[in-house]
Structure 1
Amino acid sequence: MKTLIYLLIALACFGATPPANAQQSAIRGSVTDEQQQALSLATIHLLDAGDSSVVKTVFPDTQGQFAFTGVGPGDYRVKAVLVGYVDAVSGAVAITSSGHIRELLPLVLKPENTVLGEVTIDAPPRPLVERKPDMLVVNVENSTLAAGNTAMDILERSPGITVDKDDNISLMGKQGVTVMIDGKQTYLSAAQLANLLRSTDGNSIKSIELITNPSAKYDASGTAGMINIVLKKNKMTGTNGTLTLGTGYGWGHKANTSLNINHKAGNVNLFGNYSYMNNVSGQDIGIFRTVGTAEAATSFDQLTEFNRKNRNHSFRAGVDYNTSDRNVLGLQLSGYATNGDNNNNSGTSIGTNIASPDSTLLTSSLFDGRYTSFAINLNNQFTIDSNGRKLTADVDISRFNNENRANYNNTFFLPSGEIKGSPLLSRSNMPTIVDIRVAKADYTHPLGKDSKMEAGLKYSDVEADNDMVFENQVGGAWQNDAGRTNHFVYKEQVAAAYLNYSTQLGDWGIQAGLRSEYTRSDGNSITLENRVQRDYVDFFPSIFVNYKIADNHQAGLSYSKRINRPNYGNLNPFAYFLDQYTSEQGNPYLGPEYTHAFEFSYTLMEKYHLTAGYSLTNDVIAESMMQDDETKSTWVTRDNLAKQAVWYTNLNIPVKFAKWWNTSTNLNGFYMSFDGQLGASYLKQGQFALQVRNNHTFNITPSFSAEASVNYQSALVYSIYRIGSRWSVDAGLNKSFFDKKASLKLSVSDMFNTRAYDVKTSYANLNVLVNQRPETRVARLTFTYNFGNLKNGARHSDTQSEEKSRISMP
């Protein structure tokens, strides 16, 4: 704990700031709409009257009042900006001496959609894929491809992202991605994160932010970078909302509905969301493997059909209260309840000659899952002064309570069709409780015109309790199977502090930061009497340098060090069985992996974006497959491999062929290699891979549009696996009516049903081929209706706990 205390004292020293100057010059004013209603959400820029460069930025209070203080002598203009309105710019404002106070006439913003006779001026839609200096943004809102889909469906269709057969998410070819929602990490295992994303209605998502090289102010976890899912935020005054109704069909029928309601009056903003999803889905997985030498080899040809039924209720509700002109206090409650029924049937032919097997194993597995979560967040944002000093604080408390019951029936049949022995009946129950408590504070302090310092503290406390009971039926009675029963408790505390400095020196932009994280972890397998404890401190530097070569040319270089801690499920030594020959088990001795990431970026005309980078990960957490030639069993686990190297480049090219036809092409090429001891053998292999995503938007009429997307993924290597290529085509239509208050969207994903996975490995004593065909071709019809007052004017805070992405779930 001494290290934690030292970190907190150090950051407290970082936050010390000098007093504000007296006798400051100031420019004051207000911003309203045409009805003279205050617009507190507007952004106010102080511009140099000579070159229109931004000198300072402030935000108005709830009455629309704003002030620029500490303004030096010179000529200025003031500009007000707000989404949905035409920008307003003041006349020239001269400051001639210290202490000079200037009062402006009110800045009046007019709605952007203004009818002039028979002409309607509409704001141009954002491109589907947009490159920003530090991230790639997929603008999901209003996209027909997002209508009716889940958050997982949208992620799978985003540039540079791949999701494998086990729901592991990769960014630019690399695993170890940190997934956030509204800037807050989810802290779930791959399986539980997949459940959350499949329970999140895509209609609630505004955009997906892909951050390949985050700065020190972000958590250091996530060696491949970060994916931030930005939820829609209602910014309307009065009472308003959105109703969504959807239906679809793929493997089975799907239905979804959601209701968003927002009410803002005076200093109070109330918001709420409820959604329900009913999804019937499934997939087929074929596994062919050979065990033993050529003289005495046994082959297993397995085909499993997964049938899933998920029913999900989720909600989000909260209040923002302006306790003063400069302080906003927020409270949010959120949660979900999911019932999942999985009926899996597997048939395995076993023999030296698979054409005439010696026996056949039929396995039926019935899973009944109940997953619930509840989270509470209290947040506060205090704007200290108009110079931009700001202090924010968040406290998150959440609990995940999951219960997964399973029944297994393993029956062997002889070639004659007779049953070989008695059926093996088993059952299991695994309740999982995860408690997460997080507190954080961030401080921003401008240092002059073009510089600022940011500092922050964070503390997280996580406890995951997995208590698996496995039983076999013997003589008509259930008996505990000690070899498969396991009680595992994992506790982790992380204390973090960071300091981040940024400045603009002419055409050069520089940002440098340092983050420190102190970690204590305790993985205790109570059943096996096996305990692994760790205690360590890490430092994570980052630096970003940007240079404006010319008006249409910008370049940047960056470096960061990051960590990826193993998720809770991968640490649990318990084995999860598909059948008696196939399983997956955790490794309690897994350690964290560390990545050094370098990136170069180039932007042409603020439109064409090129990114190239290199990352080296030491002690990479790599999935491996083990095999026992005597028992003929195969299991999947994870180990720390010496290193993984990735070279990558990403190019985003938007092209406007016509006023009604826009395209965006994203090319992502990477070379990934693995080098080190894995299990009993040495692994050294790599391969170049290419990902292509080509999106088209057709604005046929003002109220009717269409979209199409062509996607391609070449073959690639990951750990011991070689993954085959795949491609797909998505398409959608969108019709708006009722003065654009309502829309009807039809979309079809993977129209030709081509997004199958082929995975093979020939490593050590393994010879395995896997073919997975998930549900990817789905047709959806979605109706959306916006109602109530549609004027801008509310601040909306939505935050979730950061420690939710590494929770354990079978």
Structure 2
Amino acid sequence: MPTLTRRPIYIAFLMLLCTCVRAQGLELKGRVVESGGELPVEFATVKAIDPSNGDMLTGTTTDVAGNFTLTVPQPGITLEVSFLGFAPTRVEDVRGADMGTIVLKPDGETLDEVLVTGERSTTEFRLDKRVFNVGKDLSSSGASALEVLNNVPSVTVSIEGQINLRGSGGVQILIDGKPSVLTADNGNALGTITADMIESVEVITNPSAKYQAEGTAGIINIVLKKEEQRGLNGSVTVNTGTPNNHSLGLSVNRRTAKFNLFGQLGVGYRTFPEDNRGINRDLSSGTTILSEGEADKNEQFYNLILGTDYHINDRNVLSLTGHLAYEIETENAITDFSVINSAGNLTDAWRRTEATEATNPKWQYELNYKREFDAEDKDHVLIVSALGNSFTKDQSSEFTTNTSEGEALFGDQLTRTDFGQTEYTFKADYTRPVSEAVTLETGLQYVLNDVGNDFAVSDFIDDDFQLVPELTNRFEFQQGVLGAYVTSSYEGDKWGVKAGLRVEQTDLSTVLVNTQEANDQNYTNLFPTLHTSYKFSEAASVQAGYSRRVFRPRLWDLNPFFNIRNNFNVRAGNPNLQPEFTDSYEVTGILIVGDLSLNAGIYHRYTTDVVERVSFFQDNVNVTQPINLGTSRTNGVELNGKYRPAKWMTLSGDFNFNAFDRTAELEGVSYDFSAEQFNGRLVTKFELPLDIDFEVAGNVRSGYRTVQGNVSGFSYADIGLRKKILKGRMIFNVSVRDAFASMIDESEATQPDFYLYNYRQRGRFVTVGLSYGFGKGEAMEFGGQKQF
């Protein structure tokens, strides 16, 4: 056969052969190791790339031994292998099945580049909220959620755990966008959440109608970590500190095509010391009660979070999460009391010793179903969820009195508290994009809160403890809130607007079982919201918003019982307390110029039926009780900024100032006044040689006037240091909170017939920690705060 005749046959044969090879595919096998040894690189990314256009054809990851198997559609592809901290390696024109051993070489520049990507701004701004990324605050290492919140712009946390937003209470605390039992108990239960568990904190000063209307100052949403990287990822952490802050934690995530399994386990022991002083002076009789003491609260905690996301198919996901926490508390306190008569002479003196034991089991579960209706439009969704949680406390306290002069005004006592709270939330949210610019949202929610608290006090009389009937009772609290909302939003290239309306019906009942004192409340309220934004350029935009909010009295605001550690300064609830309502307005501008980002805003709040704690004084005993007291008008300005003056230095800070007018009348006496307050924070971060980061944070909170007196201001400093080891897979941390022990809670109340002074201090906390991340390594972008 002539050559020219055979050539077309050869060409046809070769084309058929290539087609067959392409149809069958080519299975590649190989192993990935580090240079300088045979250490395998687990979970390295292996991608097959089309050399003609650079598109990825398929991919996989290596196993724990560094091995991989990958079927590619045809020979001649480019194989790319990469892993965090190593330079990517490419093999061109792959035609054989055996790839042998592929070596990855460390690349400091690549590692630095990835870590810089992870160094997001401390605060990110969005249409109706700000997001604070916890991982960038070195001084949060080993901290609890309360200490993390104290580093968030606009948020302050008092030494008692009282959370304020822009200087105001009435904040609703959410976890992953939902109410949680961990945010109850005056916020103290937030100590079971530690910094390493938190991804970010969202500050929503003007929430849309989609959110519950609870919280006059706004909403703080704590977003917990839930890695969704393919393969196995996690970290092991250990830290120690003084005063006692010892803990061990494990965080693990495993992702497959159908399931995402995640879990966190933590155990630890902590001590919270406290120094306190007090003055109760009866200006009518001239008698003064002085108290001075110290206390320490010791807490063992065990924390377990387990959850899974089951991807039924591309459009349906079912999630189940469970959280178990158990705390064992012991508290010891010693307080010395002295009675000074009008002539300045000591008449009585005694020491009161407290020994308290408590166990606090908690549990929470959530079942969540998400359906996406359109494969091309991920925003067309229905989310249905059921959330249940419980918090119980079994506590007993023994008070012993030893007299050194005269006669003690209070003798030996015993108290017992048996507390239980359950809360169930059922919610459905539906989002429907009408067009590329217009979106509709609607939803329903029902929240049921059921609480019971048995409280008993016994006095030591005639060589035996005898129950005190007037201080012993069972308090029952039940509240149901049914809410529905609808919102509509338009978001164009430059301008956007979102309007909404929420209606909530509240049914509340309280009863003191032993005395049958009952209080029932039922009310329905409307909560409109309006948000708008305009984008002048990529560097400048402005936002404005309005919302109406409500603060509903909580258990401890309504419960008339109190702790009797100091019988001369007691806190009690008010069963007849009514809700307070706030209309909130704000305008915010955002400007980014080079290495400077600046956020500036002004706001106004008008609150009616303000809930304020007021002192009632009789026989040198101060009983502090919340009551509805008039109105408040607040005008404020807030500044947040970040500046990088040098490659190795970053400055960030925030400042909030507001002036408020109080109109109040109590028992026929006017308490109208005007006052001002401010708080600020400046953080300086240095990126030093040898992969060391050093951070200093200065904080200041001004004093401010209250209805009956003044609260003093203070300033304090936090210090943090982080050292990256093993290419960033291991992190060493040192943090010092309140480095100069200058955070002091100090208040005075001055009235015509009495004077009160209270002082409390916690002191300095030092924590040293070590964290090791395993898996794909991306989790180590947050390695600096993995202290469980």
TM bracket, shorter-chain basis: 0.7 to 0.9
The aligned amino acid for 2:746 is D
The yes-or-no answer on 1:703 pairing with 2:681 is no
The aligned amino acid for 1:239 is L
Which one of the candidate residues 580, 585, 592 is aligned to 2:572?
A: 585
The aligned amino acid for 1:647 is N
Residue 345 of structure 1, CA deviation:
1.1
The aligned amino acid for 1:408 is F
The aligned amino acid for 2:649 is W
Which residue does 2:164 correspond to in 1? Answer: 170
Which residue does 2:604 correspond to in 1? Answer: 614
Which one of the candidate residues 168, 174, 177 is aligned to 1:180?
A: 174
The yes-or-no answer on 1:368 pairing with 2:361 is no
Once the two structures are superposed, residues 584-617 of structure 1 have per-residue CA deviations (whole angstroms, 9 ceiling, x without a partner) of 2110000100000000111112821111100011
Residue 400 of structure 1, CA deviation:
1.2
The yes-or-no answer on 1:248 pairing with 2:236 is no
Contact between 2:181 and 2:389, CA under 8 Å: does it hold in 1? no
Q: Which moved more, 1:468-477 or 1:616-625?
A: 468-477
Residue 281 of structure 1, CA deviation:
1.8
Which residue does 2:312 correspond to in 1? Answer: 323
Once the two structures are superposed, residues 394-438 of structure 1 have per-residue CA deviations (whole angstroms, 9 ceiling, x without a partner) of 101221111111111234442xxxx63797221111101111111
The yes-or-no answer on 1:481 pairing with 2:446 is no
Once the two structures are superposed, residues 206-247 of structure 1 have per-residue CA deviations (whole angstroms, 9 ceiling, x without a partner) of 222211111110110000011111212212222221111001
What is the 5 A alignment of 1:17-32? none
Which one of the candidate residues 382, 391, 402 is aligned to 1:391?
A: 382
The 1:373–1:614 alpha-carbon spacing in structure 2 relative to 1, beyond 3 Å, is: same
The whole-number CA distance in structure 2 between the counterparts of 1:602 and 1:421 is: 60
Contact between 1:704 and 1:733, CA under 8 Å: does it hold in 2? yes
Which one of the candidate residues 108, 115, 119 is aligned to 2:87?
A: 115
Which one of the candidate residues 519, 544, 556 is aligned to 2:543?
A: 556
Which residue does 2:191 correspond to in 1? Answer: 198
What is the 5 A alignment of 1:280-679? 280-293=271-284, 296-353=285-342, 356-385=345-374, 386-387=376-377, 388-414=379-405, 420=407, 424-505=411-492, 507-605=494-592, 607-628=597-618, 631-678=619-666
The whole-number CA distance in structure 1 between the counterparts of 2:760 and 2:612 is: 20
Contact between 1:363 and 1:408, CA under 8 Å: does it hold in 2? yes
The 1:585–1:556 alpha-carbon spacing in structure 2 relative to 1, beyond 3 Å, is: same
The whole-number CA distance in structure 1 between the counterparts of 2:187 and 2:213 is: 22
The whole-number CA distance in structure 2 between the counterparts of 1:596 and 1:743 is: 46
Residue 111 of structure 1, CA deviation:
7.1
Residue 634 of structure 1, CA deviation:
1.2
Residue 737 of structure 1, CA deviation:
1.1
The whole-number CA distance in structure 1 between the counterparts of 2:163 and 2:716 is: 18
Q: What is the percentage of aligned positions where both structures have the same residue?
A: 24
Question: Secondary structure of 1:194's partner?
Answer: helix
What is the 5 A alignment of 1:44-55? none
The whole-number CA distance in structure 1 between the counterparts of 2:183 and 2:559 is: 12
Once the two structures are superposed, residues 458-489 of structure 1 have per-residue CA deviations (whole angstroms, 9 ceiling, x without a partner) of 01111100011211222222221001101110
Which residue does 1:146 correspond to in 2? Answer: 140
Residue 447 of structure 1, CA deviation:
1.1
Question: Structure 2 length normalisation: TM-score?
Answer: 0.83
Which residue does 1:85 correspond to in 2? Answer: none
Which one of the candidate residues 217, 225, 236 is aligned to 2:229?
A: 236
Which residue does 2:714 correspond to in 1? Answer: 726
The 1:719–1:166 alpha-carbon spacing in structure 2 relative to 1, beyond 3 Å, is: farther
Residue 546 of structure 1, CA deviation:
1.1
The aligned amino acid for 1:236 is Q
Which residue does 1:784 correspond to in 2? Answer: 771
Q: Which moved more, 1:505-514 or 1:320-329?
A: 505-514
Residue 682 of structure 1, CA deviation:
2.5
Residue 703 of structure 1, CA deviation:
2.1
The whole-number CA distance in structure 1 between the counterparts of 2:296 and 2:525 is: 44
Residue 317 of structure 1, CA deviation:
0.2
Contact between 1:307 and 1:342, CA under 8 Å: does it hold in 2? yes
The yes-or-no answer on 1:274 pairing with 2:262 is no
Once the two structures are superposed, residues 9-37 of structure 1 have per-residue CA deviations (whole angstroms, 9 ceiling, x without a partner) of xxxxxxxxxxxxxxxxxxxxxxxxxx99x
Higher relative contact order (CA 8 A, sep 6+): 1
Contact between 1:466 and 1:489, CA under 8 Å: does it hold in 2? yes
Larger Rg over CA atoms:
2
Residue 167 of structure 1, CA deviation:
2.2
Question: Secondary structure of 2:634's partner?
Answer: strand
The whole-number CA distance in structure 1 between the counterparts of 2:444 and 2:308 is: 25
The aligned amino acid for 2:474 is H
The whole-number CA distance in structure 1 between the counterparts of 2:514 and 2:81 is: 67
Which residue does 1:223 correspond to in 2? Answer: 216
Q: Which moved more, 1:110-119 or 1:331-340?
A: 110-119
Which residue does 1:86 correspond to in 2? Answer: none
Question: Secondary structure of 1:460's partner?
Answer: strand
Question: Secondary structure of 1:185's partner?
Answer: coil
Residue 354 of structure 1, CA deviation:
8.1
Which residue does 2:149 correspond to in 1? Answer: 155
The whole-number CA distance in structure 2 between the counterparts of 1:689 and 1:148 is: 30
Question: Secondary structure of 1:579's partner?
Answer: coil
The 1:746–1:614 alpha-carbon spacing in structure 2 relative to 1, beyond 3 Å, is: same
Question: Structure 1 length normalisation: TM-score?
Answer: 0.80
Which one of the candidate residues 122, 133, 136 is aligned to 2:130?
A: 136
Contact between 1:723 and 1:758, CA under 8 Å: does it hold in 2? yes
The aligned amino acid for 2:729 is K
Once the two structures are superposed, residues 277-311 of structure 1 have per-residue CA deviations (whole angstroms, 9 ceiling, x without a partner) of 21112111111121142xx3111111121111111
The whole-number CA distance in structure 2 between the counterparts of 1:575 and 1:193 is: 14
> Comparing both structures, which one devotes a greater share of its residues to helix?
2
The 1:406–1:354 alpha-carbon spacing in structure 2 relative to 1, beyond 3 Å, is: farther
The 1:139–1:705 alpha-carbon spacing in structure 2 relative to 1, beyond 3 Å, is: same
Q: Which moved more, 1:575-584 or 1:308-317?
A: 575-584
Residue 491 of structure 1, CA deviation:
0.7
Question: Secondary structure of 1:127's partner?
Answer: coil
Which residue does 2:73 correspond to in 1? Answer: none
Which residue does 2:249 correspond to in 1? Answer: 258
The 1:587–1:118 alpha-carbon spacing in structure 2 relative to 1, beyond 3 Å, is: closer
Residue 195 of structure 1, CA deviation:
2.6
The aligned amino acid for 1:485 is T
The whole-number CA distance in structure 2 between the counterparts of 1:770 and 1:454 is: 49
The aligned amino acid for 2:755 is N
The whole-number CA distance in structure 2 between the counterparts of 1:258 and 1:763 is: 51
Question: Secondary structure of 2:474's partner?
Answer: strand
Question: Secondary structure of 2:751's partner?
Answer: coil
Residue 109 of structure 1, CA deviation:
12
The whole-number CA distance in structure 2 between the counterparts of 1:781 and 1:575 is: 37
Q: Which moved more, 1:113-122 or 1:671-680?
A: 113-122
Residue 355 of structure 1, CA deviation:
5.2
Residue 157 of structure 1, CA deviation:
2.7
Question: Secondary structure of 1:762's partner?
Answer: strand
Question: Secondary structure of 1:153's partner?
Answer: helix
Once the two structures are superposed, residues 55-99 of structure 1 have per-residue CA deviations (whole angstroms, 9 ceiling, x without a partner) of xxxxxxxxx9xxxxxxxxxxxxx99xxxxxxxxxxxxxxxxxxxx
The whole-number CA distance in structure 2 between the counterparts of 1:718 and 1:701 is: 49
5+ long unaligned stretches in structure 1: 1-34, 37-63, 65-77, 80-104, 793-810
The whole-number CA distance in structure 2 between the counterparts of 1:791 and 1:653 is: 27
The aligned amino acid for 1:396 is L
